[in-house]
Amino acid sequence: MSETLTWSEMLDQDDDTPTNPSTRRTFADIFADRLARLGEGDSTMAVGAGLLAAGAVGGSLFSGALSRRALLKGTAATAAVAGLAGGAGVALGARPAEAAAGESSLTFPPLPHSYDANSHVADGYEIQTLIRWGDPVVAGAPEFDPMNQSAAAQAKQFGYNNDFVAFMPLPVGSKTPDHGLLCVNHEYTNPHLMFPGIADGDIESLSKEQVDIEMAAHGHAVVEIKREGNTWQVVKDSPLNRRMTALETEFELTGPAAGTDRAKTKADPSGTKVIGTVNNCAGGKTPWGTILFAEENFHGYFWGNPEATAEAENYKRLGLGKARYAWGKFHDRFNVDKEPNEPNRFGWMVEYDPYDPTSTPKKRTTLGRFKHEGATTVLNKDGRVVVYAGDDQRFEYVYRFITKGTYNPDDRAANMGLLDEGTLSVARFNEDGSIDWLPLVHGNGPLTAENGFKDQADVMIDVRKAADLMGATPMDRPEDVEPNPVNGIIYAMMTNNTKRKADDLNVVNDRAANRHGHVVEIIPPGTAADGNGAEADHTADRYTWDIFLKAGNPAKPEDGALYGGDVGENGWLSCPDNVAFDSKGRIWIATDGGPKSGIADGVWAADVTGPARAVTRRFYACPQGAELCGPEFTPDDGAYFAAVQHPGDEKGSTFDNPSTRWPDFADNMPPRPAVQVVVKKGGGAIG
């Protein structure tokens, strides 16, 4: 364990080591091509070339500063000049802070930057802690006792490091805003904050019981919740409450990779039944009321020597080889020396029915195997369902899946197999502002037996390799990729990429050592930023793209930050991670990495169109050492759910001596990951 990294930072650093061997075009090549195509007579390009020649940094011609939307509106020259301002750390189209605030549709006062032991929310709102690590979930679960933990108890209690949050109204198919199921991922564990006597990074000292507790703390939880007046609470012992764990829950593999020899193990010769799920990060909801949740950084759970297996190339591309958990010491299935195919059974998207606590969760192999941040859906106007996803690692890709069949609003059961047939594609972002979706189908282009793909199962298991060969665009750590239900545009969070070098830029990732990240708009034909999302064609082969914002501190020119206006001293953000939209289509961005810039992680909101487009405003701040996940709203925007991960995960902070005891602040309680709900004082819509 590094002396300078916390447990969560160490896990994050594993993903700061790119595994993508693809050759990438240099920014100089892109710039030369663009000049050649547009010609010297293009005044906008001439202005831009002059700016670059003058030494402009950051907000180049190919950043969102020169918006394709601006070009269409005839304001190219203004946008190009604004690009220079953006490169100098000044907002695009900057206006006085007071004017920007007055023009925004948001009414809450900005929350000042902070970094302390507690969580905070904007004035006029209140925070309620809804459920914490160890709280009872299923009937018979004991109350949490941090000094007397057991795997049996944890399997019935709320798990650790809550991430994705979905509110599913009750009854099924309704839009009830005050009664529903809260569906929550439990991504990973911090043993030094869970157990007494464990140092940060020490996995050798963990006992089998402690490892089993960790495994039971992974997975997913379903809890019934209700609002009484303006207060939310969990419905104790609800028959709908459920826990899924890495220790004992059975999952079913479906789709092209189910039953393949590469998925078979000694324990499961059928290659279709998997015990457990790990590293469940973000997720999504389907139109028929099921939940999708991700298996992200599964590589760090496996012991043994992957290079000695028949899957050596596959496992190298996914980063296996450095175990971060002690599970393989006690469970053979997490040791590739003993079960060489087990990692092929992880890295999928899981679908399950939250309204049926007896349903078997299914790993949908049609959606591909990689480090899924999540998968979010949109119902296309032709009835097909489209799923968007990001592969959360530096220099990885953005994906889209289109179902073969169409959604039947009158027959929920008929929709349950929709995600088992369809086409997965990967995005190539072009210098002319377009996106091509490249189908990952066996026999298409290089996806043949000559390159190691004997069938579609191989393509789905080795999706990264397939995407490499198809020429996809390596991105700056694509995390949440989510459609805006109002305007139909997809917003993709590029969290950061400190490994991108100045000679390794591309048109949509144009900052070297990108430590703050950016937000990309992926625009289907048939809509625009101020258009009607119902007309978007999410099945088209070609889209366009734009940059919504570049995160960072505008007061620091070296950050190359770019917003839609003056965000003021407290409105800037760093490391966009998850995203949600309220019923008005406004964007709410949760972050992971703010403490590296001296600010707490939290959530920022902004309009996506109009005079305050991309003018971010801080709404909620995490306690120290934590990141914010979720986010999620009730259908009436009356409640906002904030999932706070790893509070107190800072250098020197342990179970015995934590830097914060959030959210209980009791001497007998360690810091506990928790889901908080934010409501407006006196009631009403958030925002």
Count Cβ atoms below 10 Å from residue 342 Cβ, excluding itself.
27
Query: For the segment 175-184, what is each residue's pLDDT rounded down to a tens digit?
Result: 999 999 999 9
Cα(203)–Cα(194) distance, integer angstroms: 12
Note the pTM of the prediction, 2 decimals. Answer: 0.90
Distances in Å between the Cα of 223 and the Cα atoms of 246, 355, 448, 624, 651 are: 18, 11, 46, 27, 33
pLDDT score at 305 = 98
- Check: CB of residue 675 under 8 Å from CB of residue 186: no
Per the DSSP assignment, residues forming a β-bridge with 613 are 607
pLDDT score at 83 = 32
Of the chain, the end-to-end C-alpha distance in Å amounts to 42
The tokens for 532 are: 């009607």
Cα(449)–Cα(470) distance, integer angstroms: 15
- Check residue 271 and give left, alpha or beta (phi > 0: left; psi -120 to 50: alpha): left
- CA torsion 53-57-63-69 (nearest 10°) is -70
pLDDT score at 15 = 60
pLDDT score at 21 = 73
- Running DSSP on this structure, what letter comes out for residue 90? -
Classify the C-alpha dihedral 125-186-182-654 as positive or negative. negative
The number of helices, as runs of H, and strands, as runs of E, in the chain is 13, 31
For 429-477, the three-class secondary structure string (H helix, E strand, C coil) is ECCCCEEEEEECCCCCCCCCHHHCCCCHHHHHHCHHHHHHHHCCCCEEC
Q: For the chain, which ranges sit under pLDDT 70?
A: 1-5, 7, 10, 13, 15-17, 22-102, 528-531
Nearest to 395 by CA among 519, 508, 280: 508
pLDDT score at 52 = 30
